[in-house]
Amino acid sequence: MQMPTPSRREFLTITAAAAAAAGTRITAQPQAAVAAVVRPPRLRPGDTVGLINPAGATWNPVDIDIVRETFEALELGVKVGQHVLDRHGYLAGRDEDRAADVNRMFADPDVKGLVCIRGGWGCARILPRIDFDQIRRTPKVLLGYSDITALHTAIHARTGLVTFHGPVGISEWNQFNVDWLRRVLFEGEAVTFENDRRFDREDSLVQRENRIRVLTPGVACGRLLGGNLTVLTAIVGSRYLPDFKGCVLFLEDVEEAPYRIDRMLTQLKLAGILDAASAVVFGRCTDCSPGSGYGSLTLDDVLVDHLRPLGVPAWHGAQIGHIDKQFTLPVGADVEVDAAKGTIRMIAPAVA
């Protein structure tokens, strides 16, 4: 009988329990000093991107064909990492091999950008094996979301490189996603991210999809940092966090009960990360309902409890997260947010 695959939540619980059983003492590590922002070269038609799989396993080889064809349709060449179809249980191969694909693509002079095929779980495991000196020497576009948060956070903390929280290779590449990718990574625009305001039905009197909810109005500036809430909290206390002072913190998650979102936001609060932010943008928490009967706080209740008392601009509902249409956000770039409007405005282009 095939054993069920553990969830990411169970991975984190098992890891913590194993450390405790072994007598490992987990201590907080200082955050990295603020690094100078490094913009990667923009992508151009004819450039080659490297496909990597730094986290969960890709089960179907056809997925690789689909990703290849997607980026070829974007007028890019594609180089496939050596280990993208490896499998070590739920991981896309051994830690050393997944890290080697990342390092090899950053070192390859023919590769101008890296695209993560999928998320899942596993990026945090390879951080000690990443060659940050090489990344500093050869900055490139890195694209992905969800578990790729660990790579985005660590790479920016250690090198200052701006990376991109956006669709992974196997995401749905609809016109919305393609347009944001082109504007940010190819055309080098300093865009203003704003939810799609088109009505989901032509005969609707009001907008129903992609609405935002303002928690605290206001305008603020800061370095855009964050990503998946579960992954971010899992590396709190490590040496792979940037300095969050004055940042615009953005968060998203999937399939987490409100009490777990509450627990993770509490962890960010106790670690000083929430209080350090100049603004907070919560995207989508897909399938994060309180369950039947409302025997718990709702997600909205939890966000009000944690974010409104900060007294900084905050809203939720931005098109960030495990959704079909999402922004391509520059992690580590300076932005201005307007909570009342639900906008994130880039101060300057994120690519050189």
Catalytically active residues are 146, 252, 322
Q: Is 63 helix (H, G, I), strand (E, B) or coil?
A: helix
What does R_g of the chain's alpha carbons equal in angstroms? 19
Cα 347 from chain centre: 20
| Rounded distance between C-alpha atoms, residue 224 and residue 333, angstroms | 6
Starting from the edge strand earliest in sequence, which strands make up the sheet with 329-331, in order?
A: 77-80, 48-52, 111-116, 141-144, 163-165, 329-331
- What is the distance in angstroms between the CA of the first residue and the CA of the last residue of the chain? 52
Cα 137 from chain centre: 23
| Rounded distance between C-alpha atoms, residue 7 and residue 69, angstroms | 30
| Rounded distance between C-alpha atoms, residue 328 and residue 347, angstroms | 15
DSSP 183: I
Phi-psi region of 306 (alpha: psi -120 to 50; beta: other; left: phi over 0): alpha
Phi-psi region of 253 (alpha: psi -120 to 50; beta: other; left: phi over 0): beta
Residue 21, burial from CB neighbour count under 10 angstroms (0-12, 13-18, 19+): exposed
Return the ∠ at Cα 289 (arms to 285 and 292), rounded to 5°: 175
